[in-house]
Amino acid sequence: MNNAGITGGNGLTWELDPSVWRRVIDVNLVGCFLVSRAVIPHLLANGYGRIVNVASIAGKEGNPTASHYSASKAGVIGLTKSLGKELATKNVLVNCVTPAAANTEIFAQMKPEHIEYMRSRIPMGRFVEIDEIASLICWLASEDCSFSTGAVFDISGGRATY
């Protein structure tokens, strides 16, 4: 599972420091690529594997004052789709989840008004629980998941728009 992620704080896109932008892309997207690159040869040698990437609903919709985070998670979605197609006949399935916000340590990197904005966008009116995300990831990583690859699984409390 590729689950690394930082927000890089919040700010208007044109006011973000390029070094902050690059750091978010490096951790959230390049890190996912590097882990995949390292593990896929082993999965291919074993003739079986499951990769689950953790993106974000922000990667599908974009969040104001979080363009760097949103862009990085959109990249994870694209990477998932590409890898899923590349590995489709190899018994190595690659999928991703796009959770809405969960109340984790990552909130410490965000402004309170951004946290409230995210909660207000969720029709169920609450943040997703970690165990809810974990249950979905466990299925995607299991043998029961046998015909989904390159897919994006929303766990957004109704926020997803596509």
Catalytic residues: 69
Token representation of residue 41? 């040869």
Taking alpha carbons only, the member of 94, 81, 80 closest to residue 44 is: 94
- Where are the strands (E) in the chain, listed by range? 49-54, 92-99, 152-155
CA 151 to chain CA mean position, Å: 12
CA distances, 79 to each of 28, 73, 99, 102, 120 (Å): 12, 10, 17, 23, 29
User: Are residues 129 and 156 in contact, defined by beta-carbon separation less than 8 angstroms?
Assistant: no
